[in-house]
Amino acid sequence: MRDPEEFNDWYVEIVEKAGLADKRYPIKGMNVWTGYGWKAMRNIDNFIREEFDGTGHQEVCFPLLIPETEFKKEADHIKGFGAEVYWVTHAGENELDVRLLLRPTSETAMYPIFSLWVRSHADLPLKTYQIVNVFRYETKQTRAFIRMREIHFFEAHTCHVDFEDAERQIRENLEIMERLAKKLCLPYVLCKRPDWDKFAGAFYTIGIDSLMPTGRTLQMGSIHQYKENFSGPYDITYEDADGEHRHVHQTTFGMSERILGALISIHADDKGIVLPPDIAPIQVVIIPILSKKDKDKTIQYCDDLSRVLKSIGVRAHMDDRELRPGNKFFDWELKGVPLRIEVGPKDMEAGVITTARRDSGEKGQITKDRVASGVQDLLADIQESLYRKVKDEMFKHIHRVSDLAGVKEGINSMSWCGVEDCGHEIEDVTEMAILGVPTSAEETEGGCIVCGAPTKQVIYVAKTY
């Protein structure tokens, strides 16, 4: 696997060279989304929207600023986030009576309003989400998409009549994640975090982790069961069918621009990044190979081709800059465009186009009469094989280990009795973190890797970002 420092240098450089973000903004940890990076992020957002709209969630948008008084209602939450919030203390020339904070996440903005929206069991389940900017005053080294102080953020918030219905929501979330991963070409493991690592205020937390090429995992998102932990302090109650007032049970599902960071990290080679076709701002770049005499004709041919592809919904772009084809190849490979089409005099004569896949480098030809379906098939195949490849790669690095000295790079699966002391021992000895109990794992007979006590519980352990 790649050396973390070398990888980090590569990552910083490739984000800049591929033109995904500009980090020269004069505030550390707050980058500019360029046109190219923002389009990729918006494609990701649209898949997320499709999934959540399709499962009966309503997109809403809550204010960015939260009064300190509301923020402080849930004790664990303020403990978890208090040290990393930005405070607005003045407006114009005035000092504010109540300080306002920039949301680090929106529980404390939403829940006072949920307590007004939810009246009776007929209002439940309440399923909402929003895609907004959130703010965390990170003290660690910042890095584009991975660790930022202004974060492009997705958060779903739901309210339910009881714990069981909230659990159903969490199962739905896991299904959503599975469908999303295919569209994003992003394999992941799901682990129920140990108690000491759960979200501030949660009853339990499921982390969504992806394995980076360095062997460390990156948390791309998380799903939380809150039970009544927030509905108590925020007084979110409903009248049930018998006229009794009860607190709702709540869940959340959070994801962020880290998805893009993970995509860039996982799908890459020496030539640059490799964007999955479903995410790529430009899916197909068309490069005219010009000879002097056929220049106009070739450009016209490429332009027509671009129009045909656009008309069937393919994001095509013709690159007619005054550059040598080799330089153009280099540029678009760097930027991860999944498919390149070359058209030169010979191709036109033969009635074909030449294709080059970004993932495998494989070249091919498509006859002119089946360009539309040929390109669509190729894109679908690239999407599928990219996902297969990175999924295989991840599973190759999940190892079953039976003693702590045997942990390897990647994700280590081991038995744990569940006692916190043994858990900390695991983390101390391996210098790794417990990701938690994988939701997918079969139960295994075995003894705790520390104390040997019989247990059926398996955990994943890895170095993390």
Q: Which stretch binds its own copies (CB under 8 A): 30-38, 199-207, 326-334, 394-402?
A: 30-38
Rule CB under 8 A: say whether 405 interacts with its own copies: no
Does 54 contact its own copies by CB under 8 A? no
Q: Does 60 bind its own copies (CB under 8 A)?
A: yes
Quick check: 42 binds its own copies (CB under 8 A)?
yes
- Give least dist CB 139 to its own copies, A: 8
What are the φ and ψ backbone dihedral angles of 123, each rounded to 5 degrees?
-85, -5
Q: Is 418 in the site for its own copies (CB under 8 A)?
A: no
Shorter beta-carbon distance to its own copies: residue 321 or 363? 321
Position 86 contacts its own copies (CB under 8 A): yes
Q: Which of 295, 289, 351, 300 is nearest to 324 (CA)?
A: 289
Rounded distance between C-alpha atoms, residue 197 and residue 204, angstroms? 9
d(CA 78, CA 56): 31
Task: Give the integer Cα–Cα distance in Å for 259 and 209.
Answer: 10
Q: Which stretch binds its own copies (CB under 8 A): 58-66, 212-220, 356-364, 431-439?
A: 58-66
- CB of 341 vs its own copies, minimal distance in Å: 22
Q: Exactly one of 12, 61, 451, 453 binds its own copies (CB under 8 A); which one? A: 61
What would the DSSP string read from start to end of 338-385?
Answer: SEEEEE-HHHHHHTEEEEEETTT--EEEEEGGGHHHHHHHHHHHHHHH
Q: Rounded to the nearest whole angstrom, what is the least distance from the CB of residue 24 to its own copies in the complex?
A: 6
Residue 310 sits in the site that holds its own copies (CB under 8 A): no
Residues 355 and 298: beta-carbon distance below 8 Å = no
Name the minimum Å distance from CB 313 to its own copies.
14
Phi then psi dihedrals of residue 398, to 5 deg = -105, 115
Among positions 113-132, residues that touch its own copies (CB under 8 A) are 113, 116-117, 128
According to the binding rule CB under 8 A, does residue 58 interact with its own copies? Answer: yes
How far is 4 from 154, CA to CA, in rounded Å?
Answer: 28
Q: State how far the Cα of 313 lies from the Cα of 278, in Å rounded to an integer.
A: 11
Pick from 92, 243, 313, 326 the residue near its own copies by CB under 8 A: 92
Pick 82 or 406: Cβ nearer its own copies? 82
Pairwise CA distance, residues 374 & 394, whole Å: 30
> Residue 156 or 190: which CB sits closer to its own copies?
156
Name which of residues 146 to 175 contact its own copies (CB under 8 A).
150, 152
Between CA 142 and CA 145 the distance in angstroms is 9
User: H-type helices in 195-289, by residue range?
Assistant: 258-266
Residue showing tokens 């009576």: 97
Q: By the criterion CB under 8 A, which residues form the site for its own copies?
A: 22, 24-27, 30-35, 38-39, 42, 58-65, 67, 69-70, 82-94, 100, 102, 109, 112-113, 116-117, 128, 133, 135, 137, 139, 150, 152
